[in-house]
């Protein structure tokens, strides 16, 4: 290399360095305002949307808060699988089981129905943790409002919680313990149950009246008057709407169901059920409390008379081929639609505890003839009363509360 060429090289290198240094500010400016990695970030957030959601709730002062919540997986799709661990309690260790649901104590000979758990396709439901539940509800009031299915779920929860803390019954009123309240002093938790088979105001049929009366535009005062005391409320109804009834709205007769002897128009009960759910959700979701609607619980009479021998006598769950249809499908659909509509204007958290499809697979979980103590002790009668509606305790209804605790945990109550 010649001397002249050697002298030119440093100059060329200086020029190159100057060009690079001059380019750096432009490159940084481009990165800041035209992020080439934005596509990757957006894709990552989109993929994680099934795990994290961002929901806004408006307060009474019209301010908005944002809560980052862990999304609950779709627990409605799955199957019942064997669980050798079995239940957390039994008919002897829990004192709040309604007599008619204490199946083993009443002589049910099989116990296999106790050894199943619900396994969603995409996740696992943890075993119920009573300490965790009480911690979540510390210093709060949880109320169950509805018919005997609400009470069934309540009594399951009380049995589960009693495995770690003994509750004190502080209030009881009404026939068949329809209104009760307990306190868990260890965590300052109050749990109560309110009998209200229509949720809205009304009169139940009696010896002097062969039909129910419903006022669809206002809730039942028996629980409505205490509503402001509830931090979390679980509502659950359905089967009482099938009974004969006369319906009122704004003080006028709207129509009736199964009312051959009444002088009013037959309008069925599906639209009435919708109106009652709508009125209820409007009332309970009107402040920043947590609201859970437990969906319709299916029965398993399977077309047989309630007093026929062998009704709901299965000993294992359905595994395949059983789908929602008819009454179960329609009642659940109405509830899910009304929850979706109410969530759009709710001030607090509102969700459906969707147990209908899960429960339709458990024909083995009902008391059947063991709603009464040892029904076959004097032989096998031609006719026998069967309960193919409510659930044995322990039994499948415990799974409802395992799902409910995950909802509450996700809400970070």
Q: Is 390 a catalytic site residue?
A: yes
Q: What three-state secondary structure class fits 165?
A: coil
Q: How many residues does the chain have?
A: 413
Q: In Å, how far from its chain's centre is CA 296? A: 10
CB atoms near residue 183 (< 10 Å): 17
The rounded distance, in Å, linking the Cα atoms of 89 and 84 is 14
Of 147, 220, 364, 387, catalytic: 387
Q: Which structure tokens are listed for 348?
A: 């607090």
Q: In Å, how far from its chain's centre is CA 278? A: 17
The rounded distance, in Å, linking the Cα atoms of 308 and 289 is 44
Of 148, 156, 297, 359, catalytic: 148
Q: Is 92 a catalytic site residue?
A: no
DSSP state of 125: P
In 3D space, the residue among 157, 291, 293 whose CA is nearest the CA of residue 227 turns out to be: 291
Cis amide bond preceding 394, omega within 30: yes
Q: Which structure tokens are listed for 376?
A: 């076959």
Q: Is 387 a catalytic site residue?
A: yes
Give the active site residues: 148, 387, 390
């Amino acid at each position: 290399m010649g001397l002249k060429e050697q002298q030119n090289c440093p100059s060329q290198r200086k020029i190159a360095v100057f060009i690079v240094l001059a380019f750096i500010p432009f490159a940084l400016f481009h990165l800041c305002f035209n992020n080439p990695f934005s596509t990757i970030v957006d894709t990552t957030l989109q993929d994680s949307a099934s795990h994290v959601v961002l929901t806004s709730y408006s307060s009474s002062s019209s301010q908005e808060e944002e809560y980052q919540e862990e999304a609950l997986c779709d627990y409605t799709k799955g199957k019942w699988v064997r669980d050798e661990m079995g239940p957390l309690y039994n008919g002897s260790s829990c004192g709040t089981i309604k007599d008619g649901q204490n199946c083993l104590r009443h002589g049910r000979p099989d116990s296999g129905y106790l050894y199943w758990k619900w396994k969603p396709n995409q996740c696992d439901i943890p075993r119920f943790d009573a300490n965790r539940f009480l911690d979540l509800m510390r210093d709060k009031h949880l109320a169950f409002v509805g018919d005997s299915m609400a009470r069934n779920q309540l009594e399951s929860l009380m049995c589960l919680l009693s495995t770690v803390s003994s509750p004190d019954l502080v209030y009881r009123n009404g026939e068949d313990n329809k209104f009760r309240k307990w306190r868990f002093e260890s965590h300052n938790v109050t749990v109560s149950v309110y009998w209200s088979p229509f949720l809205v105001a009304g009169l139940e049929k009696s010896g002097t009246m062969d039909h129910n009366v419903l006022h669809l535009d206002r809730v039942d005062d028996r629980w409505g008057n205490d509503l402001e005391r509830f931090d979390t409320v679980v509502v659950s109804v359905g089967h009482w709407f099938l009974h004969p009834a006369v319906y009122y709205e704004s003080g006028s007769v709207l129509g009736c169901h199964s009312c051959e002897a009444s002088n009013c128009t037959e309008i069925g009960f599906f639209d009435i059920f919708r109106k009652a759910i709508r009125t209820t959700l409007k009332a309970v979701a009107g402040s920043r409390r947590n609201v859970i609607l437990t969906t319709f619980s299916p029965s398993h009479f399977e077309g047989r008379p309630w007093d026929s021998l062998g009704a709901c006598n299965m000993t294992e769950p359905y595994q395949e081929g059983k789908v929602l249809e008819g009454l179960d499908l329609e009642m659940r659909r109405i509830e899910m639609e009304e929850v979706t509509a109410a969530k759009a204007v709710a001030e607090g958290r509102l969700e459906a505890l969707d147990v209908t499809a899960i429960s339709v697979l458990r024909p083995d979980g009902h008391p059947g003839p063991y709603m009464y103590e040892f029904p076959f002790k004097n032989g096998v009668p031609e006719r026998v009363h069967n309960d193919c509606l409510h659930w044995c305790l322990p039994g499948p209804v415990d799974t409802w509360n395992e799902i409910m605790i995950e909802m509450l945990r996700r809400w970070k109550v």
